[in-house]
Every structure is written in C-alpha cells, then in structure tokens.
Amino acid sequence: MKNKFLCFCASVANPNLRKQILFMFFVAFFCEANAQAPKSYTSSEILLQLKKLNVLGSVLYVAAHPDDENTRLLAYLANEKLYRTGYLSLTRGDGGQNLIGDEQGVDLGLIRTQELLAARRIDGAEQFFSRAYDFGYSKSPEEAMKFWGHDKILSDVVWVIRKFRPDVIITRFPTTGEGGHGHHTASAILAGEAFDAAADPTKFPEQLTQGLTVWQAKRILWNTFNFGATNTQGNDQFKMECGDYNPILGKSYGEIAAASRSQHKSQGFGVPAQRGSVIEYLKIIKGTAPVYDLFDEVDVSWKRTADPALANTINKLIEKFDVSHPEKSVPALVDLYKKMETAPSISPEGGGKADDYWKQQKLNALKDIIQNCSGLFMDATTNTQFAIPNDSLKINLVVNNRSGANILSADAHMDTEYIIFDQLKKNTNSVQTYTMFLRPGTKLTQPYWLQNPMEKGSFNVTDQQLIGRAENDPFSVEFSMMIEGKEFKFTKPIRYKYTDPVKGELYQPVNIIPAFSVRSIPKLGVNNKLNDWEVKSFRDKNTFRSYVKTVNSGTIVGYNNDTVLAKGQIIKLFDKPHISEVPLYDKTQYYTYHDTLFQENGSPYLRLHQIDYDHIPSIVYTQPEVFTSKEFDLKIEGNFVGYIPGAGDKIPEALVAMGYKVVTLKESDMKAANLKQFDAIVTGVRAYNTNEWMNNVYSELMDYVKEGGVLLVQYNTSNQIGPVKAKISPYPFNISRNRITDEEAKVNFLIPDHAALNHPNKITEKDFDGWIQERSIYHAEKIDTAYKAIFSMKDPGEQEQNGSLIIANYGKGRFVYTGLVFFRELPAGVPGAYRLFANLIANKRNKYIK
C-alpha cells in the first residue's frame, strides 16, 4: 500500500499539493477516534466531503440482517463514487446467536444495531431498519413474511425508499432462494415489490400525507455472489471494480470493508484486510440495465435540482482548499451556503412542484463542512450517566474556536432558555454551566421500537416518522453562532464524560431512568411459589411504596412498604416469603403464574436493563419486572453440576432453578480429583469454539466420563466463523449445519424405552409443546455406531433428521451431544425442556440401554 501511495504522490505535478496529500494520508491512516467522543475531521476527510457536494445521486442496499451487507460495495459507493449510500436491514438480528455474551432476543438486537452503526461510521453509509423481528432461521420466505406481516414490512420498505429516494436499489440476495435463509429471500422479494409500490400513489397513500411523495428508482439489481459451492456470478452481468485504493483516505476499499465488517463482534465476524482487485457483479432485476455505469441515464449533477453554476463554485473551492489551513475556506463556504440557500429549485420533468430534496441534503452537508473546516468544538457533558424525572441535571457546555475563524456570539438553547457564551477567542475554551430540571413525566430513555408491546413477528411503532430510523435521537442541546455574519445552528448530544485510567477520556449516552429500579430474584422460578424483590433508588430521599399483584388470579397480596431510600441504596422487600394465590396442579398439567411489583397508582415498577461492551455505547432500557413461576412435574437425579462457559447462555441459572448446585469450571479446575465430585458436567454453547484450552483437557474429561460421570455438550459450530478447536467426544461424529427451524415440528421417538425418555421423567409428545423459535441447530452427522440417536424430526418438505440428540456410553459414564436449543427453551421456562434436560444429566448409568 505504501509503495502504491508514493507512486500516486509522485504523479502529482504540484509540489505543494503533493505535500498536502502526504499530510492528509498520515492523519487519516493513523488517527482513530472514540465513536462516542466529539468527532474531529481531518483535512482529507473534509476534502472528500467537499467532493461529495457535487454528486447528487443515491443508492440503497437491501438485505435481511446485520452482517448481510456487502461492506466493500458500500464503502466503494460512498467514498469512491461519492453517492449518498444507505443500507436497509429488515431486522435488527434479534434471533441470531451471540458469540460475546448471553444476550438473546431484543437484547441481542440492541447490540447488533449498535454494531451496524459502528460499521457505517467506518464505511460511510447510512443505516435503516424496518419493524421486522428476527425470529431465527427460516427456510422459506413465505414463513418469514407471514410471521412479520407482509403488508406491514412492505410498507416500511416503501417508506424508506420514498424518504431516502434512491436512484438505484441493490439487493444482497435473489428472490429464487440461493441465499438460503428465508429472511434473505424475503428481503429480495419485498425490495422488488417496493421498487414498484413506492412509485404508485395508490399504495400506502397515508405516507403521502407525511411530507413524502412517490418515488421511482431507475433500476434494481441483485449483487450476485460466490459463496462456497454457490456461484451466482456470470460474465453477462454488470461488473464494477471495487478493490481500488483511495489515496485521500489512505486505504483500499477492501481494507475499509474489513474494518467495517469486523464491527459485527457478537457474530464473530472479524476478518483480515483485503487488498487488490475485486470485481462486484450485479444482475438487473427491474428497470433499464446499466451498460457503462451503475447510474446510466441518471443525472447526478446540480442540473437535477438547482442552479448548475453551483458545481463550478464548488470546484473552485476544492481547487483552493488548503489542507494545512482548512479554516481559510470558511468565508467561501459560507458564501456558497447563501447561494445554495437562495438558488431556485428546478421543477421535475413534465412539470409539478419544484423539488428541494437534494438542495436540502447538500445544505445540511455544507453546514457540517463549515463546522469541520473552522475547527469549531462544541461539547455538552454531565458527570453522571443517569438522569431522573423530577430532579435536576447539571450540564457543562464548552465552545472552542480552535482555528480562530470569524465566529461571534455563540449561545446554547435548552428548554426555553438561552445560555450566552463570552466572546470566542482563538483556541480558548468558553465554558458555561446550566442546571436543567427534568419535569415529572419526562420520557424515559427507551429505544423507540420497544416503547410499545411487540406484535407477533414485528415491533409496534405507531409514530410513522420513526419508522426506518436506526435509533432514537439523543438527549441534546442546540448551539447557535454567527459564522462570517451568517447564523448557523448545530444540534449536539448531551453525553456523560469520564476518564478511565487505562482507556483515557470516554463518553457515554446520558439516559433518563426511573427513580427506582426493581428486579425479581430469581427472574424465573421452577416449582417455586416464593420470590424476592430487590429495589435500588436512583434519587435521594425517595419514599418507596409498593404492592405485589398475582396476575393470573387478580388478587393483591398484602404488602405495603413505606421506606425512605437514599441514592444508591438497595433494599430487599421480602425478608419472609409472601403468599400468592396460585392454583394447585396435578402431574398431567402445567401452570404458569406471574408476580408484578406495582406502584400505589396501579402502574408497574420498572426494571432497568443495561448492556455494556467496550465496542459499542452503553445501552439502557426499561420494562415492567415480572416474576414467572412454572409449576409442573419435575424430578432430578444428582445435585452437583459443573458448567464450562462457552459463548454465553443462561443454562446455569436454569440448573439452579431446577435444584442443582452449579459450579463454573475453568481450565485449572480440570483435575480428576476435582471433577469426580460432579454428577454431571455441562458445556455452554460453542464452548469448543471459544475455548482453545478445551483441547488441553480432553483426556481429563474423557476420564471423568469413563469413571462414571455425565458430560453433556451443547451445540458447537464447525465453519470458518466458529471452527471446533478441540476434540469433543469419545467416539467420532461430525457437526453439520443441519437444523429444524419449525418450533412445532413433530418429534419422533426412535428408542421409546431409552432412559433419556423415561428416567427420572417420562417424556411424551406434550413435552415438546410451547417450544420457541426453533427445535435444534448444528446437528451431529456421520456418527459412530456407539451412539444412539434419540429423536428424528423434520421441517416441512424435508427429510427426517436424527442428529439433534445423540448419546453414547463410555466406561461407567455417558456422553451426550445435543443441538436441541436448550439455551433458548430453559430461560423461556418451557416445562418439557426442563424435564428432558433433567433426564440427560441424571447420573444413573444403569438406567441406560446399551
């Protein structure tokens, strides 16, 4: 890369410009920024922004999940072709697997949303979502669209198209199924339908009352691929060279793409940087096929919207841009802003209302460039991450005119007040402090798609303007100042700033949270009518009053606490068990009941959920806290279980709820004298993918089984993302990608008298009622004859599979491998999953049939 860059520099005739480009390269290549910190742009980045002002074209990429997108193509379109580039992911990836923790469902979707936003900050594209919920692997688009609600998600795609107004739409997957996953195929089908529907005023006409108009993209193409044994690329398709090197950024698009894709850390998608030529292939789906350029027959110049002379003005600005002193461009940039603001808009061909869309887009971009060139620093921070309604929040406001540009009379607007700053001297912090009172009833921090209870298959978002957005607008302040005699307003987030002794200065979002947070201990009870509540206060001198209500019987349990709590104080409400009116059950029935902690006014207290990982901002949301107890017939045999963590699951909590004592094991614990105390050892999901040390303890684990122990191994993957790093079993088998996605698939008992189905719990078809999302994943195949396959099942239209659960005797003990999704079913409280799991780890080998 260095040699190629130096060759480029040598080809530049102007020696001053050559020095400037060298300077930009080193700044862009070596400087990294904390994603939450105020962003300062290098001269190279500003130069790219200036060039982008003259390109009035946009492209929308559409797929199903976070990590489906082609980051190289996005990076190329955004930074080489300079198009406004967006990625619409239909889902937030809620139903995927998690390589970094135990979050599932909406929690995982929140993580993957932030990972996508981190990726977009690197490749330069924008991020959009529909309301579709990722319910896990699907084998048909029909199932996906039925679950989501076809018309609802189609309307979302149409909304994003009408709002983003892409000239070209690209899908990652085809409509014909080569993408494998049903969600993938559904994303292509919906994109194709939306291509037409967005231009039809009779389709979703209510959107046209929300400030939008119909929009017809020029073409929609499929970005074909060569994945493993599936090669859909062909010489008759449109080709684009996307491996180019960008000397302004100092990186090739393969390098940018790798950094972007590696943000999908929860999916284990870290990849090496790629350099060299890469051809992307695109197949026309609808519209006219491109011949010479992806944007054939699309005018991306200023002719499409306003005064074409603006292009010449922008070109002159670029010519005179001084990377050592970008502030010198500020006067000309402000003049350009005034010209652009007053330039007449051109009516579309055939007449009609003048279109200001691109003019407004470029005015917004130009305002950012003016800020970046001036080196203007604006910051709004607090010394606390949490704010409480009916309480005050101290906000520190800083403005610094670092370059000494002509900037006067700065102020900040919060609520109905204006905070005036002193005269802005060059490179001097002007500081003001404002104490904001958060009125009672101030909205709590809550991702907009979680504000209402979810509908089947999709999120319930009632505000049309929020649909498509990646996240909420942050808690913010508006700065205003005169730059070269023109008033500009900048909205900046209010952030919590602190210093870590290792990581340095860090920023996190400020979250508005309830005065009290409650949590049930435990969250889920098994055959246990007793639970405790823990309450934490976030504000001084709060009086806490509560009731506990048993939802299923509608009775209020007699508990009225009247305690004044200090900030940070934690209390447990029930020193003695409380009594809930719960119906008795018999061994043929399952019962579920719930306890919710209510305020005196009848509304539930909320639990504060916080998700923290170094690579994404801290995530906070709330939901009513509910204790759930499952009442069903459950017997266990043995009481001491060792657990080896993997990628993350909640199996240990489920084992404790069943009545086991659980100890977490690490490599140093794998000694025969220590292992022999355990009735069973359970490995977490992907334990053999994530723990390289498992290979070092293979002999110890096999000896443990041989001497009478039970080793249950949950699913592992065997692919480029999660290769098995250790030997697993006493007898050979392979791990496949086979799975059963239908959670209601009929389960056939292959060996009805096997103890796994009979001891200590009699397993019947009823035990597979109420399973969620799927039955099993990553089945065993090519199994040794020493194993017994216990079940067979199939998805609609497929052959029976028998690799979801295999068991083998080894010495005095037994080995179990299972792809059954216990990591989903046990936290969900599925009774049959508990009963079957208890059988699998019951430690009485003589009950098993050889």
CA-derived radius of gyration, the chain: 30
Is the pLDDT assigned to residue 576 strictly greater than 90?
A: no
79, two tokens: 């930074």
For residue 399, what are the β-bridge partners? 378, 430
N-terminal to C-terminal alpha carbon distance within the chain: 62
pLDDT above 80: residue 590: no
pLDDT of residue 783: 95
Task: List, for residues 458-489, the tens digit of each pLDDT value.
Answer: 999 999 999 999 999 999 999 999 999 999 99
pLDDT at 227: 84
Render pLDDT for 122-163 as a digit per residue (tens, 0 to 9).
Answer: 999 999 999 999 998 888 899 999 999 999 999 999 999 999
Question: What's the rounded Cα separation, in Å, for the pair 72 and 77?
Answer: 9
Residues 756 and 748: beta-carbon distance below 8 Å: no
Q: Is the pLDDT of residue 597 over 80?
A: no
Distance separating alpha carbons of residues 837 and 682, to the nearest angstrom: 11
640 pLDDT higher than 60: yes
Is a pLDDT exceeding 60 seen at residue 173? yes
pLDDT score for 35: 54
pLDDT of residue 628: 81
Cα(726)–Cα(721) distance, integer angstroms? 15
Confidence of residue 545 (pLDDT cuts 50, 70, 90): confident
| pLDDT tops 60 at residue 253 | yes
How does residue 529 score in pLDDT terms, banded at 50, 70 and 90?
low
| Spatial contact of 681 and 711, defined as CB atoms under 8 Å apart | yes
- For the cut 90, the answer to whether the pLDDT of residue 721 exceeds it is no
Question: Token pair of 354, please?
Answer: 């003048």
Query: φ and ψ at 769, to 5 degrees?
Result: -80, 145
Question: What gap in Å lies between CA 11 and CA 777, rounded to an integer?
Answer: 56
Token representation of residue 13? 């005739």
Distance CA 756, CA 838 (A): 9
Stated as kind and residue range, the H or E segment containing 492 is strand 486-500
Q: What is the pTM of this model?
A: 0.86
What pLDDT is stored for residue 30 in this prediction?
A: 34
10 Å CB burial of residue 279 (0-12, 13-18, 19+) is: exposed
Pairing of strands 791-792, 251-252: unpaired
Q: Does residue 214 register a pLDDT over 90?
A: yes
Q: How far apart are CA 680 and CA 652, in angstroms?
A: 13
The C-alpha torsion from 763 through 768 and 769 to 772, rounded to 10°, is 150
Higher pLDDT pick, 14 / 72: 72
Q: How far apart are CA 402 and CA 373, in angstroms?
A: 10
pLDDT at 581: 45
692-699 LR contacts (CB < 8 Å, sep 24+): 692/725, 692/726, 693/667, 694/644, 694/725, 694/726, 695/725, 695/726, 695/727, 696/667, 696/670, 696/726, 697/667, 697/670, 698/726, 698/727
Looking at residue 561, its pLDDT comes to: 60
- The span from the CA of 615 to the CA of 602, in Å, is 39
pLDDT, average across residues 186-194: 98
Lowest-confidence region among 184-198, 293-307, 660-674, 707-721? 707-721
Binning pLDDT at 50, 70 and 90, where does residue 350 land? very low
pLDDT of 84 reads: 98
Whether 562 shows a pLDDT value over 90: the answer reads no
Task: Express each pLDDT in 489-504 by its tens digit.
Answer: 999 999 999 999 999 9
Place 543 in a pLDDT band, splitting at 50, 70 and 90: confident
Q: Cα–Cα distance between 3 and 390 in angstroms, integer?
A: 61
Residue 25 pLDDT grade (very low, low, confident, very high; cuts 50, 70, 90): very low
Is the per-residue pLDDT at 722 higher than 80?
no
Distances (CA, A) of 533 to 319, 337, 552, 607, 846: 67, 58, 19, 11, 43
- Residues 6+ away with beta carbon under 8 Å from 507: 34, 36, 37, 38, 381, 495, 496, 497
Note whether 269 and 48 are within 8 A (CB). Answer: no
pLDDT, the chain, mean? 88
pLDDT for residue 583? 46
Q: What is the pLDDT of residue 553?
A: 47
pLDDT at residue 528 tops 80: no
Q: What is the pLDDT of residue 548?
A: 60
Q: Which of 782, 779, 784, 771 is nearest to 836 (CA)?
A: 771
Letter for the amino acid at 220? I
Instruction: pLDDT band for 24, please (50, 70, 90 cuts).
Output: very low
Residue whose pair of structure tokens reads 């995982």 in the numeric block = 108
Tokens of 297: 């027959």
Residues making up the chain, counted from first to last: 850
